[in-house]
Amino acid sequence: MNKINRLFRENKNRKLLSLYFCAGCPTLEGTADVIKTLERRGIDMIEVGIPFSDPLADGPVIQSAGTTALRNGMTLEKLFSQLATVKDEVCIPLVLMGYLNVVMHFGIEDFFRRCVECGVSGCIIPDLPFEDYQVVVRPLADRYDVKVIMMITPETSEKRIRFIDEHTDGFIYMVSSAGITGTQSSFNDAKVGYFSRVEAMNLRNPRMIGFGIGNKQTLESAQAHAAGVIIGSKFVTLLNETGNPDIAMDRLQEALKH
């Protein structure tokens, strides 16, 4: 069974926590250490960002991390090589998050083949059109049992959400707002209403809420309406400030108490 499916199946009675960081930032060779540290610290799933020069869905924090990673020399080939070194040590699901241009340049089938070889369970491609996913990408992803995770936003219609739910597997990434990534001080009534509306749809796939989570209020608001949360910009900021994933985790846990 795919590790993502197993994670949700075996943890229905607790809220999951997934963290995002950008491969190659703050240092080129730090990817494996960050992954092993986060697993040791109890993180349930890790999203590893593939740096790209034009990250349309990302806010300034993650854009800056991507720029640093590219300057450091990070490439998708380099990332796969780094992931291969920890494949047999890491038990939690790893999800690659990157843009379609990078995947197509690498070769779509080669991408999924290398994912399997390096212990990657899923991917998120924010700019992948759903129609292209169904026709071109899904057959290859299914062949290698790599889950392609789709995003929904407050603007996504109920019909579209149900269509995505029917044709995907793993989990649905609920973006808290239609904007770019970045932490927020709180989620307003409209966003909480969106969380509740989707929750009431009783979808087949579990949902993880991301974008804007970095304190107690946003964490608990999201946890109340989904299987778990995804934290990106807050952790990337702390990792860049400290250069140490253990210290960054300490500071993240403290921030989530307030």
CB-based burial, 52-89: b 16+ in 10 Å, e otherwise: beebebbbebbbbbbbbbbebebbbebbbebbeebeee
| Residue that is written with structure tokens 């190659």 in the block | 24
Active site residue 88: no
Active site residue 58: yes
Contact (Cβ atoms closer than 8 angstroms) between residue 174 and residue 152: yes
Tell me which of 39, 44, 54, 58 is the catalytic residue: 58
Tell me which of 39, 44, 47, 169 is the catalytic residue: 47
| Residues assigned a catalytic role | 47, 58
